[in-house]
Structure 1
Amino acid sequence: MGGAVSAGEDNDDLIDNLKDAQYIRTDEVEKAFRAIDRADYYLDDYKEIAYKDLAWKHGNIHLSAPCIYSEVMEALELYPGLSFLNLGSGTGYLSTMVGLLLGPFGVNHGVEIHPEVIEYAKQKLEQFVRTSDSFDKFDFCEPSFVAGNCLEISLETSAYDRVYCGAGVQKEHEEYMKNLLKVGGILVMPLEEKLTKITRTGPTTWETRKILAVSFAPLVQPNQTENGKRRPLQMPTPLVHSLQDLSRIAIRRRIKTIMKPPSFCRYTGIFKYPPRYKRKRLRRRRMETIVFLDKEVFASRISNPFDDNNNYDDVEEDSREEEEQVASETKSDPPVNVFRERILSLPLPDPLKCYLLYYREK
């Protein structure tokens, strides 16, 4: 399944095509897709096809088409603090994108039947954390991968807010998948050749919506044992943050708020600076205009702030108009920003120019 959008020259170009085709519809999903380069999850010999809207498989390593992942991300309706279960987590590409949206207090679990694929996913995750600039821009919920068959998950496992299955689900396993959800949770899975979204609206009620036609390999059935009993698959215990972790999260958020660089729009070529703190402009204007007032006018205003009819409000309004008129008459044209012109002329990268201009203006 794939080929719904044209191939891109790089990751951003691929995302632009997915947006134009309405596979990506929300800002949050777009940010997650742009933060992770799809080619990083390919083997080196296959990176040239990474930006095509096609599925890729090499041995047990598999990636779905970008249009499928974008529909899945949109259907899951992710936000910080949710618990997520990825059945057939594969390379970890989807789990890592989901982790960018769950935040540090979410839960991000993956189940994969092939141990060598889990090792591959862990290598790619380590590479992302160590080398990607996007890691510092998000409050990341790091995925945990478990080796085993997703049809053998222990019944004692806590239910999840969001569940995705990356393999075709037979009708006989539909109820099993539904019971992995909390009330209010969302399950996305290929069911009867259709990518299906199921929302659990109550203890025994669900809403079902078909998204698009897909073709997935079916789930691998559990092996039969001699005594007929299987060892249930235990999922990781949700992480309880220590005081040190909570402090680190709070400090990182504060630093990112203060040091947030201006964003660059590659379409308009304009840097968008973060909003500054609001100031009491009225108070500052009065302080500035007092400098231009005649001493006699100022003295009379202090000694007799009321008019002949003891109407203070009228006097205050007239005074404000007078101050604004004096200030407008004395205001001169702003000087040329020599510093800005000099910075823009230097042979520096655009992000560095942004930082220099931003902190100079502050």
Structure 2
Amino acid sequence: MDAVAAAFEATPRTGFLRPESRERAAYDGPLAIGCGQTNSQPRTVEDMLRLLDVRPGQTVLDVGSGSGWTTALLAHLVGPTGQVRGVEIEPALVDFGRANLQAVGRPWARIDEATPGVLGDPDHAPYDRILVSAEARELPLELVDQLADDGVMVIPVSGWMTRVTNPGAVVTEHGAYRFVPLR
């Protein structure tokens, strides 16, 4: 079994959904988690994680951590020698995501409330990998600046799944996707 499949097996979506949605955890579509946000479609999350190519021991930023599912998946991929920092703009989802993350027992991952007016987490940069689970209108250079010299970011931009690699911020597109807007 490859690393992404193992992360999904070790991190069931059910524990990251609201009680009223848990019976639909196997549904391959987005499910509401409150505050106008969703727990993303599993197939989309898998595609993003494969593009991100996370390795053990890396430092990862999860922008728009929501229910904490992607943060927990990333934590499984980096393992206890790595670090994952999730940021979420909605205070109620920060609490929800933290509780869900704590339940899976990966203390090398955390979720913090996003600083108003600041995209990502520049205070703890650079990051080996950045995953963004909300759609930007254009590539946010403030996130590109938070990438390590050999870093990778996966972010939906204007309807296209975009992979940015350093050095040089090389951009490639990987299919059409829909996400909630990045605020």
The TM-score, its normalising length taken from structure 1, stands at 0.47
Distance 1:145 1:99, change over 3 A: same
Alignment match, 1:54: 29
User: How far did residue 126 of structure 1 move?
Assistant: 2.4
CA offset digits 1:231-265 (Å, max 9, x no partner)? xxxxxxxxxxxxxxxxxxxxxxxxxxxxxxxxxxx
Alignment match, 2:132: 165
Q: In the alignment, which of 146, 149, 172 is matched to residue 209 of structure 1? A: 172
Alignment match, 1:174: 140
Which runs of structure 2 are paired with 1:141-160 in the superposition (5 Å)? 142-149=108-115, 152=118, 155-160=122-127
**Equivalents in 1 of 2:114, 2:55: separation in Å?**
27
CA offset digits 1:131-169 (Å, max 9, x no partner)? xxxxxxxxx563111112475156554210000111111
**Equivalents in 1 of 2:172, 2:26: separation in Å?**
29
**Equivalents in 2 of 1:178, 1:151: separation in Å?**
16
2:54·2:78 contact (CA, 8 Å) conserved in 1? yes
Distance 1:126 1:52, change over 3 A: same
User: How far did residue 127 of structure 1 move?
Assistant: 2.1
CA offset digits 1:332-361 (Å, max 9, x no partner)? xxxxxxxxxxxxxxxxxxxxxxxxxxxxxx
Unaligned runs of 5+ in 2: none
Q: In the alignment, which of 79, 96, 105 is matched to residue 72 of structure 2? A: 96
Alignment match, 1:192: 158
**Equivalents in 2 of 1:199, 1:45: separation in Å?**
39
CA offset digits 1:49-93 (Å, max 9, x no partner)? 110110011422520000110011101111111110011111110
1:115·1:147 contact (CA, 8 Å) conserved in 2? yes
CA offset digits 1:304-327 (Å, max 9, x no partner)? xxxxxxxxxxxxxxxxxxxxxxxx
**Equivalents in 1 of 2:98, 2:124: separation in Å?**
23
1:102·1:141 contact (CA, 8 Å) conserved in 2? no
* Higher deviation after alignment, 205-214 or 107-116: 205-214
1:103·1:141 contact (CA, 8 Å) conserved in 2? no
Choose between structure 1 and 2: higher strand proportion: 2
User: How far did residue 113 of structure 1 move?
Assistant: 0.6
**Counterpart of 1:168 in structure 2: which amino acid?**
E
Alignment match, 2:46: 70
Which runs of structure 2 are paired with 1:1-362 in the superposition (5 Å)? 27-60=2-35, 61-129=37-105, 140=106, 142-149=108-115, 152=118, 155-171=122-138, 174-201=140-167, 205-220=168-183
CA offset digits 1:195-229 (Å, max 9, x no partner)? 1111012xxx1222111211112222xxxxxxxxx
Distance 1:33 1:58, change over 3 A: closer
**Counterpart of 1:87 in structure 2: which amino acid?**
V
Unaligned runs of 5+ in 1: 1-25, 130-139, 221-362
| Rg comparison, structure with higher value | 1
Distance 1:151 1:106, change over 3 A: farther
**Counterpart of 2:30 in structure 1: which amino acid?**
A
**Equivalents in 1 of 2:81, 2:107: separation in Å?**
7
The TM-score, its normalising length taken from structure 2, stands at 0.90
Determine which structure has greater relative contact order: mean sequence separation of CA pairs < 8 Å that are 6+ residues apart, divided by chain length.
Answer: 2
1:89·1:110 contact (CA, 8 Å) conserved in 2? yes
**Equivalents in 2 of 1:166, 1:73: separation in Å?**
11
**Counterpart of 1:215 in structure 2: which amino acid?**
R
**Counterpart of 2:17 in structure 1: which amino acid?**
Y
**Counterpart of 2:142 in structure 1: which amino acid?**
Y
Q: How many positions carry a matched residue from both structures?
A: 181
